[in-house]
Amino acid sequence: MTVQPEQDRATETSCWCCGTDYPETELVRLGQHPEVGVCLGCARWLQRRAVQRYDEQHPSPMGRLRSGINAVRAAVIRKGWHERGVIGAVLRWIDRRLP
Ligand SMILES: [Zn+2]
C-alpha cells in the first residue's frame, strides 16, 4: 500500500476546469473517469455550453430564446454589472434561475 503525498491528495479535490480547491461534496465526478472532478459552478457552465451547442445544431424557438438570454448574460458580464453591490446580487440571483 502506498500513501500519496499531501500535495497529491490536495489536487484530487481541485476542480479540473477552474483549478479551485473544493471539498469532495462540492465536486461532480465523471462516470468513466472518476478521477476528474468539476465544481458545481463549472458543471453549470459546462451544461450551458452543452445546451448552446445543442441549440446551434438543432435550431428552435426555445433555442433562439436561450441564445438571446446568453447574449444578455455575456453583455452583463462584459460590463461587470454582475459584480456591482445590490444590483450584482440581483443579477446573479436571476442568472441562477435562467436556463
Ligand atoms: Zn470549477
Q: What pLDDT is recorded for position 4? A: 52
Give the tens place of pLDDT for each residue, 41-67: 999 999 999 999 999 999 999 999 998
Helix 40-57 / helix 61-79 crossing angle, nearest 10 deg: 130
Confidence at residue 96, expressed as pLDDT on a 0 to 100 scale: 84
Rounded distance from Cα 38 to ligand 1 centre (Å): 5
Residue of 43, 38, 62 lying closest to 52 (CA atoms): 62
- Can you list the residues of the chain whose pLDDT is less than 70? 1-12
pLDDT at residue 17, as a whole number: 95
What the block records as the C-alpha cell of 59 is 435550431
75's grid cell? 453583455
Q: What is the pLDDT of residue 95?
A: 85
d(CA 76, CA 44): 18
DSSP structural state of residue 16: T
Looking at residue 10, its pLDDT comes to 46
| Cα Rg of the chain, angstroms | 17
Ligand 1 centre to CA of 32 (Å) is 19
Q: How far does residue 47's CA lie from ligand 1's centre (Å)?
A: 13
